């Protein structure tokens, strides 16, 4: 028996960054807003006190803040001809569950995409010609430009108090910032973080090679900051327990540390945790969403009517809920037709490990987004023609994740155990570092999501099935970027150096990034996109699908800055236009 609840103006599915940003905007506009979150309630004082969070086993190894595969997972295969199998233990990515979502245990590397990223396809066609692109690439323009998103990037950075150095202030180049970034209206709200030794060595070497290093824009704050809502964030203490952890210092921007305190004061906002949304109810294409069906820990099923439905449950669950609810035409890889599940893409990462005989790096001094970066091989400011690939990578040295269970580097040739291993670990731990290339990922015909025919979740619903492998374009890009990275590494004059290339097939096992994007993509054309440039469903105009699921392909940067900018832009379109005249916004 489904229990019918009292209607609300807006129901929000999932309370991560996307859900929290929409909840603030909609409740701020006076709507009654209910957020449904499948995971538990969590907040800094009760769940992340410094006396408890510095626990590598619990959080980094056993994944305490991450969704449990027993509750929900996906199935995976590299290509359509294989049988997809369940991801039984998470590896390659670690999506969140619980209040704050992945915004609790993220690193906080807070990027804007470059202007050229939003017109990747038309630009490539114009600059390199039709024959340059492999025929199975399905990349497309976003239908929204950098200039349109700039005010919303700005708003998110000031909400969080991002620490960084501007490189392009209204067209003026500033020293020490990223010379390749799009123009920004304001500088970063707080100055860059203090830089530890390893990133400094990287930056010196990169400068020597002729590159333009700058500090990673960071949601781990260099100093205390009061955001526009009056919420106060603390200063980062460089504790080293950041990615996969909640922050005990209120120093990492998260939904909890930036938005939740004011939402809790608003009578028109409510949040129900341990509530999993099962489907979105509607009367077919061209109608409206009527609300959502969800279940809580008691096993009871509820119907929550709502005038607006915000789907912000992260890429995989956004796609799955659309498919389970029969919203939008499912993508068919054979014909290339259909949209839901189309254009999944990821991040093409690689790294180089280095060890020094004479340098004490003290890698335990760290944060999530602490480091130096070069953007010289990113975007499209250099000629890709002779290189034969599209896309690029940022190269960085981040002082992060050097806790010893998962990180105890040894020089090449060291045995895996025994006395020699022990001596090598003892010598190397304080003297080793890793530098990385974070590369773009182009969408292609064989990379997509649909429903698995065999495996089901605990509510007996089909799991989402992911079919993905790296496109040759991206492997070529990655090989090039990794070579440049290794050159910088060698210029640092280490005692040893090991190059970890990215190779096919893509493996679900080693952690790479939780930058799963696409599948419900943004666009100007309903035959090749799920949502319009305001994240509004083409099929149901009161449904907005918010998150990285909107990316038509992935740039090299971490996604959340762009996720937030798209979300804030959608929120503004809803509150200033849609509420006045409900209907298609594009």
Ligand X SMILES: Cc1cc2nc3c(=O)[nH]c(=O)nc-3n(C[C@H](O)[C@H](O)[C@H](O)COP(=O)(O)OP(=O)(O)OC[C@H]3O[C@@H](n4cnc5c(N)ncnc54)[C@H](O)[C@@H]3O)c2cc1C
Both tokens of 431, joined, read 């003297």
Q: Are 148 and 133 in contact (CB under 8 A)?
A: no
Contact between 434 and another protein by CB under 8 A: the answer reads: no
Contact between 514 and ligand X by CB under 6 A: the answer reads: yes
| Rounded Cα distance, 65 and 584, in Å | 37
Considering only CA atoms, which of 389, 406, 419, 438 is closest in space to residue 555? 438
Q: Are 482 and 438 in contact (CB under 8 A)?
A: no
DSSP category for residue 504: S
Both tokens of 443, joined, read 């969408």
| Rounded Cα distance, 522 and 529, in Å | 5
Contact between 277 and ligand X by CB under 6 A: the answer reads: yes
Q: Are 2 and 301 in contact (CB under 8 A)?
A: yes
Asked about 515 being catalytic, the answer comes back as yes
Place of tokens 């070529």: 476
Q: At 272, is the secondary structure helix, strand, or coil?
A: strand
- In the list another protein, ligand X, none, the entry touching 91 (Cβ below 5 to 8 angstroms by class) is another protein
Torsion sign, CA atoms 424, 426, 428, 432: positive
Binding track over 366-395 against ligand X, x by CB under 6 A: --xx--------------------------
Contact between 96 and ligand X by CB under 6 A: the answer reads: yes
- In the list ligand X, another protein, none, the entry touching 18 (Cβ below 5 to 8 angstroms by class) is ligand X
Contact between 114 and ligand X by CB under 6 A: the answer reads: no
| Rounded Cα distance, 153 and 185, in Å | 10
- In the list another protein, ligand X, none, the entry touching 101 (Cβ below 5 to 8 angstroms by class) is ligand X
Nearer to another protein, 56 or 376 (CB): 56
Q: Smallest distance, Å, CB 429 to ligand X?
A: 22
Nearer to another protein, 319 or 508 (CB): 508
Question: 51 exposed, middle or buried (CB, 10 Å; 0-12, 13-18, 19+)?
Answer: exposed
Q: Smallest distance, Å, CB 197 to another protein?
A: 4
| Among positions 4, 186, 423, 493, the unique one binding another protein when judged by CB under 8 A | 423
How many residues make contact with ligand X (CB under 6 A)?
42
| Rounded Cα distance, 475 and 481, in Å | 10
Q: Smallest distance, Å, CB 242 to another protein?
A: 11
Q: Which helix (H) or strand (E) holds 292?
A: strand 289-295
Scanning residues 348 to 387, which ones bind another protein (CB under 8 A)?
359-362, 364-365
| Rounded Cα distance, 222 and 194, in Å | 7
Contact between 195 and another protein by CB under 8 A: the answer reads: yes
Considering only CA atoms, which of 32, 30, 29, 28 is closest in space to residue 12? 32
| Rounded Cα distance, 24 and 30, in Å | 10
Q: Are 531 and 537 in contact (CB under 8 A)?
A: yes
Which whole-number Å values give the CA distances from 65 to 245, 423, 498, in the listed order?
Answer: 7, 34, 32
Contact between 269 and another protein by CB under 8 A: the answer reads: no
Q: Smallest distance, Å, CB 223 to another protein?
A: 11
Q: Which helix (H) or strand (E) holds 155?
A: helix 146-160
Which part of the chain contacts ligand X (CB under 6 A), choosing from 14-22, 336-344, 391-399, 447-455?
A: 14-22
- In the list ligand X, another protein, none, the entry touching 410 (Cβ below 5 to 8 angstroms by class) is none
In the beta sheet, which residues pair with residue 137?
444
Cβ contacts of 452-456, under 8 Å, gap ≥ 24: 452/74, 452/75, 452/84, 454/75, 455/75, 455/84, 455/86
- In the list ligand X, another protein, none, the entry touching 200 (Cβ below 5 to 8 angstroms by class) is another protein
Contact between 18 and ligand X by CB under 6 A: the answer reads: yes
Q: Smallest distance, Å, CB 276 to another protein?
A: 16
Both tokens of 202, joined, read 């990287």
- Collect all residues with Cβ–Cβ distance below 8 Å to 215 and sequence separation of at least 6: 163, 164, 165, 176, 192, 193, 195, 371, 372, 373
DSSP category for residue 577: I
Contact between 505 and another protein by CB under 8 A: the answer reads: yes
Q: Are 447 and 467 in contact (CB under 8 A)?
A: yes
Rg (the chain; Cα; Å)? 23
| Among positions 11, 17, 424, 578, the unique one binding ligand X when judged by CB under 6 A | 17
Nearer to another protein, 329 or 425 (CB): 425
Scanning residues 47 to 106, which ones bind another protein (CB under 8 A)?
50-52, 54-57, 61-63, 68-70, 73, 76-78, 82-89, 91
Nearer to another protein, 154 or 457 (CB): 457
Scanning residues 4 to 43, which ones bind another protein (CB under 8 A)?
none
Which whole-number Å values give the CA distances from 254 to 54, 219, 369, in the listed order?
Answer: 18, 8, 13
Both tokens of 520, joined, read 């419900």
- In the list another protein, ligand X, none, the entry touching 244 (Cβ below 5 to 8 angstroms by class) is ligand X
Contact between 276 and ligand X by CB under 6 A: the answer reads: yes
Contact between 479 and another protein by CB under 8 A: the answer reads: no
| Among positions 158, 303, 421, 511, the unique one binding another protein when judged by CB under 8 A | 421
Q: Smallest distance, Å, CB 53 to another protein?
A: 8
Contact between 252 and ligand X by CB under 6 A: the answer reads: no
Contact between 464 and another protein by CB under 8 A: the answer reads: no
Q: Which residues are catalytic?
A: 515
Q: Can you give the binding site for another protein, defined by CB under 8 A?
A: 50-52, 54-57, 61-63, 68-70, 73, 76-78, 82-89, 91, 194-197, 200, 235, 237-241, 248, 359-362, 364-365, 403-405, 408, 416-419, 421-423, 425-426, 429-430, 454-456, 505-509
Q: Can you give the binding site for ligand X, defined by CB under 6 A?
A: 13-19, 36-39, 94-98, 101-103, 105-109, 243-244, 276-277, 312-314, 317, 368-369, 514, 547-548, 558-561, 563
């Amino acid at each position: 028996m489904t229990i019918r609840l009292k209607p609300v103006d807006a129901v929000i599915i999932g309370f991560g960054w996307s859900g929290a940003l929409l909840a603030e905007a909609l409740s701020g506009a006076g709507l009654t807003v209910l957020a449904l979150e499948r995971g538990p309630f969590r907040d800094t004082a009760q769940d992340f006190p410094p006396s408890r969070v510095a626990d590598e086993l619990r959080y980094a190894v056993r994944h305490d803040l991450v969704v449990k595969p027993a509750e929900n997972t996906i199935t995976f295969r590299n290509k359509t001809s294989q049988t997809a199998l369940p991801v039984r233990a998470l590896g390659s990515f670690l999506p969140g569950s619980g209040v704050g979502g992945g915004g609790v245990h993220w690193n906080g590397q807070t990027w804007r995409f470059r202007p050229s990223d939003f017109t990747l396809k038309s630009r490539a066609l114009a600059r390199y010609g039709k024959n340059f692109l492999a025929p199975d690439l399905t990349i497309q323009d976003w239908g929204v430009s950098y200039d349109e998103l700039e005010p919303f990037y700005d708003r998110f950075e000031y909400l969080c108090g991002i620490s960084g150095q501007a490189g392009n202030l209204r067209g003026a180049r500033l020293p020490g910032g990223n010379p390749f970034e799009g123009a920004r209206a304001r500088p970063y709200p707080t100055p860059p973080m203090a830089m530890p030794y390893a990133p400094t060595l990287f930056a010196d070497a990169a400068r020597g090679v002729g590159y333009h290093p700058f500090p990673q824009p960071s949601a781990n704050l260099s100093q205390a900051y009061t955001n526009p809502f009056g919420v106060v964030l603390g200063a980062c203490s460089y504790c080293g327990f950041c990615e996969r952890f909640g922050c005990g210092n209120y120093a990492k921007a998260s939904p909890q540390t930036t938005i939740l305190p004011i939402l809790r004061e608003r009578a028109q906002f409510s949040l129900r945790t341990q509530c999993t949304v099962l489907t979105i109810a509607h009367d077919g294409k061209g109608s409206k969403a009527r609300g959502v069906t969800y279940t809580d820990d008691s096993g009871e099923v509820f119907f929550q009517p709502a005038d607006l439905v915000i789907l912000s449950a992260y890429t995989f669950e956004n796609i799955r809920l659309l498919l389970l609810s029969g919203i939008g035409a499912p993508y068919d890889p054979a014909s290339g037709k259909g949209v839901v599940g189309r254009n999944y893409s990821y991040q093409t990462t690689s790294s180089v490990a280095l060890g020094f005989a004479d340098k004490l790096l003290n890698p335990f001094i760290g944060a999530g987004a602490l480091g130096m970066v070069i953007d010289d091989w990113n975007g499209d400011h250099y000629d890709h023609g002779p290189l034969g690939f599209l896309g690029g990578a940022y190269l960085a040295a981040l002082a992060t994740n050097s806790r010893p269970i998962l990180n105890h580097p040894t020089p090449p040739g060291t045995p895996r155990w025994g006395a020699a291993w022990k001596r090598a670990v003892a010598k190397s731990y304080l003297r080793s570092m890793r530098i990385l290339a974070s590369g773009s990922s182009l969408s292609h015909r064989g990379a997509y999501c649909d429903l698995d025919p065999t495996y089901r979740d605990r509510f007996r619903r089909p799991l989402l099935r992911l079919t993905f492998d790296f496109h040759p374009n991206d492997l070529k890009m990655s090989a090039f970027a990794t070579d440049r990275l290794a050159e910088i590494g060698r210029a640092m004059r280490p005692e040893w150096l090991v190059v970890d290339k990215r190779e096919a097939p893509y493996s679900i096992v080693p952690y790479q990034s939780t930058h799963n994007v696409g599948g419900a993509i943004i666009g100007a054309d309903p035959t090749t996109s799920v949502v319009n440039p305001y994240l509004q469903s083409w099929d149901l105009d009161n449904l907005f699908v918010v998150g990285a699921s909107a990316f038509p392909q992935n740039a090299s940067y971490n996604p959340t800055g762009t996720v937030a900018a798209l979300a804030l832009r959608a929120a503004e379109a809803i509150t200033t236009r849609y509420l006045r005249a409900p209907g298609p916004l594009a």
